[in-house]
Amino acid sequence: MQPSLEKLRKFFRLEHENKYTNTAIIGGLAKMLDYWEGEARADGITEEVIQAVVSRLRSYEKISPDGRAESLKGLWKRIGDTYPEAGQKPKPPQQQPQQQPRPQQQQRQQTPPPSQEAEGQPSTPRPASQQQQSQPQQQKPRQNPPPRSESVVGAKHSQTPAALSAALTVLQGVGPRNAESLEKLGMQTLGDMLYYFPRRYEDYSQLKPIQSLMYNDVVTVLGTVQSVHTRPIRGGKSSVIEVIIGDGTGALRISYFNQPWLSNRFKEGDAISVSGKIDQYLGRLVMNSPDWEPVEVENLHTNRIVPIYSLTERITQKWLRNQMNSVITYWAPAVVDALPETIKRAAQLVSLGEALTQVHFPDSQARLKLAHERLGFDEIFYLQMGVMRQKRDWKSVDGRRFPISDEWLVARLGALPFTLTSAQQTSLDDIRKDLDSGKPMNRLVQGDVGSGKTVVAALGANIVVSGDAQAAIMAPTSILAEQHYRNFINLLAGDGGTMQQSEIRLLVGNTTESEKEAIRQGLQDGSIKIVIGTHAVIEPDVLFKDLQFVVIDEQHRFGVEQRAELRSKGTNPHLLVMTATPIPRSLALTVFGDLDISVIDVMPEGRQPVTTYVLRPQERERAYSLMRAQIKNGNQAFIVYPLIDESEKIDARAAVDDFETLSKQVFPDLRLGLLHGRMKPAEKDDVMLKFRDKEFDILVSTTVIEVGVDVPNSTVMMIEGADRFGLAQLHQLRGRVGRGSVQSTCLLIPTREDATENERLQAMAVTNSGFELADLDLKLRGPGEFLGTRQAGYASTLKMASITDVKLIEKAREQAQALFERDPELSQPEHALLAEAFERFWGAGKGDVS
C-alpha cells in the first residue's frame, strides 16, 4: 500500500480508538492535510481520491461523533474500491504481555484500598472498580479519553493502575453530593486527585511571631481573633471591618474595605491564618485586605508544611486534605513512571511517585522544590517532544524551490527608497535560504512596531512571484491590510520595481462585489500575483492558480483553522508569520519551538524613540496642554481607555463617557473622533481613515487601535487607566506614535495615585526595548499576553512548570532533543510507556502549531 494511504489508515484507526473525538492529530484530523496532500500526489494517488479525503476531513470537525464514524468508514470504503489493498483489515495493535504488570499488582493487593487504610478499618472486598486491577492489563481499552483535569504529567498509559479510573464514591465519606462538588474542581476519579495540586502551602515550621514583624514584610501570620468591629467611612457610603488577632507575642490589626459580609465570618476565639504585606498606619503595623483562612488548631502543633487546595461549596480544607492524604499515601507510590531511567538520571530528577507524594504533603522545602522540578520538567518535556515532532512533520514534505541570483537581489534592494537595517538583512537572508531549501518555510519574524517587517515580507513575496508563483498576505483588520497594500505597491511596483500595480490587489470585506469577482478570476488564471486582505482571502470561492507563499501578520490574532485554511489553498506553500509582540526567549524555546525564528531588533534610521512619562491622575491637565501644543503645530493625538463604558465593578475611566466631556468641555475647539470594539467593522474603518486623513485632531479609542493603522502625523499617545494594561499592550499602543520624524510622547495615567509606582509603568518610562519589556511582562503576568490562539492549549497545560524558568526549560529541551535524535517515533521497547503517555497527552488536542 502507498505510504500516504498507510499513514491515512493509521490516523483513522487511532481516531476510531479515540471514539471519534477528532484527537488523532494535534489540532484535529484536518491538520494532516497540510502535508498529506503533497505526499498523496507524490505517491500517484488519483486526484478524485485526494479531493474526497480533503472534502471529508475539512468538514469532519463540524459533525457529531456518530456522523464522523460513518464519514470515515464511507471514505475508507471508497478508497478501498480504488485501491483494493487498502480494504484489507489491518493487524490489531500488539498487546502488552499479561505478565508485565503482575509484580505491581501483587504489591498493590497487599495494601488495603484508600478508604479502609485512611479510616483504619479492617480490609474488606474491593469495589468492582478497584478489582479491575487484577485483570490482565490489555483489557483496559486505550481509547478511554483522559480525565478533564489530567495534567501532562498525568498522561496515562497501559500500565496505569486501573483503579485510578474508579469514581470518587469508592472513598470513605464521599457520597454523590460530595462527588458532585469535587467534580466542579475537576476531580472525577482517583487519578484526578493525584494531579489536583495545592495552590499554595502554609509552612507552619517557619512561622514568624507578630512581635517580629517588620514593615514591608510579606508573610503569613497565625493568630486568634480577639475582636471584630465594623465602622462607616466616606460619610457612610463605604465601610471597613477591622479585626484584631493575637498570637501571645503581640496583636495585629487587619482591615477589609467594603466587604460587610465578612463581619459574620470572623468569630472571637477562632484561629485564622492571614497572608499579605505588612503596612503601617499611624505608627502601628497593619495588614490591608490579606488572604485569610480558618486554621485547624491541630495544625498549629504539627510543625510541617501544610497544602492549601482551591475549594468549592460544601468542601472544607480539612475534609479535602484528609481525602487527599488517603489517596496520595496509597496510590502515588503505585503510579508507574513513563519517563526512562536514563533521562531521570541525566536530568537529576526524582521518581514520579516521590514527586506526587511530596508535592501534596512535602517533608521539607527542599523536597517540595525537587517535586515541583520533576513535575514541571515532565510538562516541558512533553511540550518539547510535541513541537519537535510537528516541526519534523512539516519538514518531511517537499516545497517548491525559488532560487534567485545575487545580482537580482542587489537590483531589488537598490530600488528601495532606503537601506535595510542589519536585522532586516539577516531576516531576508533567512527567508531567501528557506525559499531555496526544497522544504516548506515555517518561519516567524518578530520585531518591534515600526522595525520594518513588511519590507522583508514584500521582498520574500517578490522572490516567489519572480518564480512565476503567487503570494497571499492576511492581516487582522481592513485598515492594516490596506496599509500593507500601499506599502507593497510602493516597494514592488514603484520606480525600479519588477511588478505591475495590477498584479497586486486588495481584498477586504468592503471590496465591491464586481471587484471581488475580478480578483477571484485573476487569482485563478494567475494574472494576479499577490493578494493582500483580511479573512476575505480565505473564503471558499477564492482559488489560486499556484499559491506558494503565505504571510500572516499579527499571527496571534488568527485561529489555527484560519491559518490552515489559507495554507490549504496551495500545495505545501511556504509560510511566514509576523508579530510585533516580542516573544521572550523561554516562549521561543517552548511554545514556538516548531517555528524557525528571525528577530528584527534594530530600528530604521530616523526613527526616534518615544519619550514616556508616568503622570499622576491629578496631572491630567498637563497632558491636555501638551496635546494642544502639538495639535497647534499640525500634529494629532490618541487618548486610549481600558473600557468602552463606565462599570460599577471596575474603577477605571471609559471611552464613551469621557468622549462627551472631552468634546464639550476640554477640547471644544478641536475635532474629536471615537473608536471602540462595539462599532461595526465598517464604522471602525471609517473613523480610522478619517483620522489618518486628518479629519480628526484627537482619536478617543479603546485598544482596538493597538494593532493597525500607521498615522505618521500622530505624536502624542495618552493612555488612561494605564495600570490596567499589560506591558505588551502598552508597548503596542505606544508604537502607534513616533512613526514620523517628529519627537513623540507617550503619557501613562494610572487609575489611582498609588498606582503611579506600578512596576510595569515605571519600566515603560525607562526602556523602549520590546524584548526587555516582554521578559518583564512574562514574569509579571504569565504567558497569556503572547500566546493568542495558542493560549488555551499551552497555558492550561502548564500546571507546575513556570514558562519563565529558562533553566528548567533548557534542561527539558536538551533531554527531549537527545531522545528525539535517538528515537523520534519512540518505537524502541524501553520507550513504549513514554510513547503511550505522549500520544495520550497530545491526542487531547492541546496546543496548536502554525
Instruction: List, for residues 364-376, the tens digit of each pLDDT value.
Output: 889 999 999 999 9
pLDDT score of 806 = 74
pLDDT in tens, 430-461: 999 999 999 999 898 988 777 888 999 999 99
pLDDT score of 196 = 92
Rounded to an integer, what distance in angstroms lies between the CA atom of residue 847 and that of residue 842?
A: 8
User: Which phi and psi angles does 103 have, rounded to 5°?
Assistant: -55, -40
* DSSP 8-state assignment for residue 581: S
Report the 10 Å Cβ neighbour count for 590: 22
pLDDT score of 837 = 80
C-beta contacts of 521-529 below 8 A and 24+ residues apart: 523/470, 526/470, 527/502, 527/503, 528/470, 528/502, 528/503, 528/504, 529/465, 529/470, 529/471, 529/499, 529/503, 529/504
List, in order, residues 6 or more apart from 290 with CB less than 8 Å away: 254, 274, 275, 276, 277
pTM of the model: 0.60
CB 718 within 8 A of CB 749: yes
User: Which phi and psi angles does 144 have, rounded to 5°?
Assistant: -55, 130
pLDDT score of 781 = 61
pLDDT in tens, 272-315: 888 888 998 888 899 998 878 787 665 555 557 888 898 888 88
Angle (nearest 5°) at CA 662 between 656 and 668: 135
List residues bridging with 720 in a β-sheet.
749
Rounded to an integer, what distance in angstroms lies between the CA atom of residue 722 and that of residue 612?
A: 12
pLDDT score of 101 = 32
Query: Is pLDDT above 50 for 93?
Result: no
pLDDT score of 197 = 92
How far is residue 306 CA from its own chain's centroid?
Answer: 31
* DSSP 8-state assignment for residue 829: G
User: Which phi and psi angles does 404 have, rounded to 5°?
Assistant: -135, 155
Rounded to an integer, what distance in angstroms lies between the CA atom of residue 173 and that of residue 322?
A: 10
The closest alpha carbon to 719, from 671, 778, 760, belongs to 760
* DSSP 8-state assignment for residue 695: S
Q: Does an H or E element contain 715, and which?
A: strand 714-720
pLDDT band (50, 70, 90) for residue 652? low
User: Which phi and psi angles does 666 have, rounded to 5°?
Assistant: -85, -50
CB 239 within 8 A of CB 258: yes
Rounded to an integer, what distance in angstroms lies between the CA atom of residue 187 and that of residue 785?
A: 29
Report the 10 Å Cβ neighbour count for 552: 25
CB 202 within 8 A of CB 273: yes
CB 243 within 8 A of CB 228: yes
pLDDT in tens, 215-268: 888 788 889 999 999 988 877 778 899 999 999 899 999 999 888 888 888 999
Query: Is pLDDT above 50 for 125?
Result: no
pLDDT in tens, 55-82: 788 878 878 787 788 888 888 888 888 8
From the CA atom positions of the chain, what is the Rg in Å?
31
Handedness of CA 70, 72, 74, 80 (dihedral sign): negative
Rounded to an integer, what distance in angstroms lies between the CA atom of residue 201 and that of residue 360?
A: 9
Rounded to an integer, what distance in angstroms lies between the CA atom of residue 800 and that of residue 374?
A: 9
The closest alpha carbon to 582, from 684, 754, 730, belongs to 730
Rounded to an integer, what distance in angstroms lies between the CA atom of residue 577 and that of residue 533?
A: 15
pLDDT score of 35 = 67
Start-to-end CA span in the chain (Å) = 30
Strands 611-614 and 745-749: parallel
For 415, what's the count of Cα atoms within 13 Å in the CB-facing half-sphere? 18
Rounded to an integer, what distance in angstroms lies between the CA atom of residue 483 and that of residue 612?
A: 26
Report the 10 Å Cβ neighbour count for 231: 8
Rounded to an integer, what distance in angstroms lies between the CA atom of residue 663 and that of residue 670?
A: 8
Report the 10 Å Cβ neighbour count for 529: 25
What is the four-CA torsion angle of 474, 475, 479, 483, rounded to 10 degrees? Answer: -70
Within 509-570, where are the H helices? 513-525, 560-567
Length of the chain: 850
pLDDT in tens, 690-704: 998 899 999 998 877
pLDDT band (50, 70, 90) for residue 108? very low
pLDDT score of 142 = 30
714: its cell numbers:
500622530
Rounded to an integer, what distance in angstroms lies between the CA atom of residue 335 and that of residue 333?
A: 6
CB 499 within 8 A of CB 492: yes
Q: What is the mean pLDDT of the chain?
A: 80
CB 337 within 8 A of CB 828: no
Strands 470-474 and 596-600: unpaired
66: its cell numbers:
456518530
User: Which phi and psi angles does 69 have, rounded to 5°?
Assistant: -60, -50
pLDDT in tens, 721-774: 888 887 877 888 888 888 777 889 999 999 877 655 677 788 888 888 777 777
pLDDT in tens, 517-571: 999 999 999 999 999 998 888 888 889 999 999 998 875 555 556 667 777 888 8
* DSSP 8-state assignment for residue 742: S
Question: In one letter, which amino acid is 70?
Answer: E
pLDDT score of 83 = 83
The closest alpha carbon to 79, from 59, 56, 105, belongs to 56
Handedness of CA 24, 30, 31, 34 (dihedral sign): positive
CB 278 within 8 A of CB 217: yes
The closest alpha carbon to 31, from 459, 564, 780, 530, belongs to 564
519: its cell numbers:
480578483
Helix (H) and strand (E) counts in the chain: 30, 21
pLDDT band (50, 70, 90) for residue 102? very low
User: Which phi and psi angles does 227 have, rounded to 5°?
Assistant: -155, 155
Distances (CA, A) of 92 to 72, 79, 87: 18, 20, 15
The closest alpha carbon to 601, from 772, 354, 433, belongs to 772
Question: In one letter, which amino acid is 113?
Answer: P
